[in-house]
Structure 1
């Protein structure tokens, strides 16, 4: 880094007021980018499965589009995490969103020439936007205190709501626009996605200066130098157990992702088989995505105040209810489908934010972005597996079976967090005995 950059970073370390202003500014920048990012990710969720179904003429592979862009997001999560670790959040997040926009453009061309190969290849690249949209939530936590972390994640996700809810509800509008310029209607949402992802990348490139991760890292190094020996020993004792915290946070997010993606992926196809049009699909998916992000401000505060464990249990129970309602809902009932998918989104929200907070609690700034990127790879692979298997389950059984299985799977969250909570109590007792 140049002398000017070092002096700039030092000025934020020396001034708590200046650091706090940058923290609030970073939350605003992340929120602004998430509005565009949310609109971009909604395209693949809403019409990806239907587009593949029309091209291939079978339900068995209709889960593959979700699997492809979530698989693509796995590789992108690793790349964005590594780029952010080396060059800062600004470079990593900008690159990820721009690449995602290029993937959306590829999907548009695949629909024009009716190429299933180009569709799947483009969806892999489009997944970079999904991964980046998810990793952007970490940028708000870099300068947050322990009691602000879940709230910081939740604020980023609240802003995602505006784009994520608007996206599915613009399916018809973008479909008509696509037809007016000679493009298949189902490619219309991907026109919106391309523009939205590229704009999200430009927001980070232009506005995220100075980089919050670089400042957090430099601040952590300085604080470590100032620690006394006993404080350093205590920190080392706590850090020796951080791997367990990482494992628990990752497990929570992976399980919630599998359940959410598998049920969500097949809902548009299920609705199509029972006479619902794109407008109705857009309403249900819009309600689902709204429930994924809109409650975030409240859930983040609750997680910081009530605790990670209690809210993770609430996530498992909510996902179970979602699976039960989806399994028992009459196929022609919009009300029950909206309720089921809303509960599904809320359960995912609780799991993602509580899991993210546990991850941030367990990781030092020096390795934060790299570890977060690696964990998001697991989340993306979990989503890809859920998306791919969901179509096969429905083709060989039913949507009700898929929903019920997902709900039951979510119950694993409860023993996982209880085990972690019990282990945390034992660790604190051991540390107290030492000192």
Structure 2
């Protein structure tokens, strides 16, 4: 059974269980649509980032700055957006994140037009706010969820990212044709799709995310505190929440570090760009496509147990990558396992973090978790290059394995009741 002992919503003063269930279904549908739009916007953006950075700077060594600054931007606004959501609700928090990202797209296009590298990079940092909003959408899906469906509801929103993540990068070609017709700077045409998707996401959140799930959850929590409300709010378990944050950040750091270096390793071993593209596509499918399976698993067998399933998958991925580093097939299998391990750990860890935090601390912890997740991922990507150069791809996988073992060893923290 799941680690939480509280039951789902019961009859509440002014907000009964039937109403909560109806609002939750609507909330998950709206958030899923927003994730599709956000994924299209982010996918189209990030696929051009490295190329634009190299072109404007004139130095291929600076191509990684685009992704790095998107990650830093995500980290910088994670806590402020969570704080804003607590004060003004999820709809305002998510919409503001998208508005900042929209501003960032304009700055990127301007930076490309005037060929000023610092301006271009500043734009990518602002775009990170959109990714922060995408990350916080999964927590919004859990605001009104019951213990029986929290993992599933959260995972459905994560799964919706699959559509945008696959579709976004494929809009680069059509976008370039549109950009040329509009007189945009070279290699920025796909940002037309980014702008359209983000505007639609902003309108979607502001118009359709009503009633606001976090505001309604706060109302129910207040009723429960007065003895009349449903059991959405719960006792605070800081050690359990800490383990959840460690599991999320650890899995993300391992995933980013190994994934970022895989194309370099494959190319150096003679793989074609088609093989590299297929490997990364299968990895992304592993990250998102089966997330509902892990959400349902977390609901049925428990959050911590599912996190540990994720660690087992990550161990299998690291060992396959290390001992099969000379085989393109083995590396592809390792990347699929890596995506699956990340998915199980992130879905179950995010669910556990939500339900182990009291209503007063929940949104702040969620913001801090996204901050830690982004920082660890950024540092992992930076450090991975040095490790790859020093001890090779197999050695990088074994170093990452140490992090996986450390996360699994921290599991006793989650036993707090």
Structure 1 length-normalised TM = 0.82
- Aligned partner of 2:317 in structure 1 is 322
Checking the alignment, whether the CA contact within 8 Å between 2:12 and 2:220 is kept in structure 1 is: no
* 1:420 maps to 2:413: yes
Write the distance in 2 (CA, Å) between the matches of 1:190 and 1:115: 18
Residues 409 and 172 from structure 1, CA distance in 2 versus in 1: closer, same or farther, beyond 3 angstroms? farther
Correspondences of 1:210-221 after superposition (within 5 Å): 210-221=211-222
1:18-417 superposed matches below 5 A = 18-43=19-44, 45-53=46-54, 55=56, 61-175=62-176, 177-178=178-179, 186-226=187-227, 239=236, 242-270=237-265, 282-327=277-322, 333=328, 335-394=329-388, 398-417=392-411
Asked if structure 2 preserves the Cα contact closer than 8 Å seen for 1:316 and 1:347, the reply is yes
Q: Is the 8 A contact 1:64 1:387 kept in 2?
A: no
**1:103, 1:132 → 2: CA distance?**
14
Alpha carbons 2:304, 2:352 under 8 Å: kept:
no
Write the deviation string for residues 229-272 of structure 1: whole angstroms up to 9, x where unpaired.
xxx9xx99x53xx1101111110011011111222333445556
After superposition, the C-alpha distances for 1:341-395 in whole angstroms (9 at most, x for unaligned) are 3222211111111111111111122332233112211112112212332334445
- Alpha-carbon distance change, 179 to 40 in structure 1, aligned in 2, over 3 angstroms: same
Indicate the larger mover: 162-171 or 187-196: 187-196
Pick closer, same or farther for the CA change 1:406–1:174 going to 2, 3 Å.
farther
Q: Secondary structure at the match of 2:158?
A: helix
CA 1:327–1:125: 2 relative to 1, 3 Å: farther
- 2: distance between equivalents of 1:399 and 1:324? 11
Partner of 1:4: none
Alpha-carbon distance between aligned partners in 2 of 1:63 and 1:405, rounded to the nearest angstrom: 22
Moved more, 193-202 or 45-54: 45-54
Taking a change above 3 Å as real, the CA distance of residues 330 and 363 of structure 1, as seen in their structure-2 partners, is closer
More off after superposition, 20-29 vs 186-195: 186-195
Task: Verify the 8 A CA contact 2:325 2:394 in the aligned structure 1.
Answer: no
**CA distance 1:183–1:278, change in 2 (3 Å):** farther
Cα pair distance change 1:323/1:52, threshold 3 Å: farther
Determine if contact 1:46/1:281 at 8 Å carries over to the other structure. Answer: no
CA–CA separation in structure 1 for the residues paired with 2:257 and 2:386: 11
- Would the aligned equivalents of 1:49 and 1:265 in 2 still touch at CA under 8 Å? no
**Whole-Å Cα distance in 1 between the matches of residues 189 and 207 of structure 2?**
28
CA shift, 1:41, in A, is 2.6
Change in Cα spacing, 1:125 to 1:288, as seen in structure 2 (3 Å) is: same
Unpaired runs of at least 5, structure 1: 1-9, 428-435
64-73 or 262-271, which moves further after superposition?
262-271
| SS in structure 1 of the partner of residue 226 of structure 2 | helix
Q: Please say if residues 13 and 228 of structure 2, whose CA atoms lie closer than 8 Å, have aligned partners that are also in contact.
A: no
Superposed CA deviations along residues 94-123 of structure 1, whole A, max 9, x for unmatched, are 110121122233333333443321222111
> Which deviations, in whole Å up to 9, do the C-alpha atoms of 1:176-211 show, x marking residues without a partner?
554565556654554433332332222101111111
Cα distance in structure 1, aligned partners of 2:322 and 2:197: 34
Q: Contact between 1:108 and 1:191, CA under 8 Å: does it hold in 2?
A: no
Change (3 A) 1:340 1:101: farther
- Change beyond 3 A, Cα 1:283–1:169: farther
| Higher mean C-alpha displacement, 75-84 vs 170-179 | 170-179
Contact 1:179–1:185 (CA<8 Å) still a contact in 2? yes
The 8 Å contact of residues 48 and 187 in structure 2, kept in 1 or not, is answered as yes
Going by fraction, where is helix more abundant, 1 or 2? 1
Q: CA deviation at 1:59?
A: 6.4
The DSSP-based 3-state class of the residue aligned with 2:19 is helix
Partner secondary structure for residue 14 of structure 1: coil
Q: Give the corresponding residue for 2:3.
A: none
**Long gaps (5+) in structure 2:** 1-10
Query: C-alpha offsets along residues 1-29 of structure 1, whole Å, 9 cap, x if unaligned?
Result: xxxxxxxxx99843321221111100100
Corresponding pairs, count: 405
Q: 1:263 to 1:115 in 2, by over 3 A?
A: farther
Q: CA deviation at 1:51?
A: 4.1
SS at match of 2:149: helix
For residues 325 and 183 of structure 2, the distance between their equivalents in structure 1, rounded to whole angstroms, comes to 37
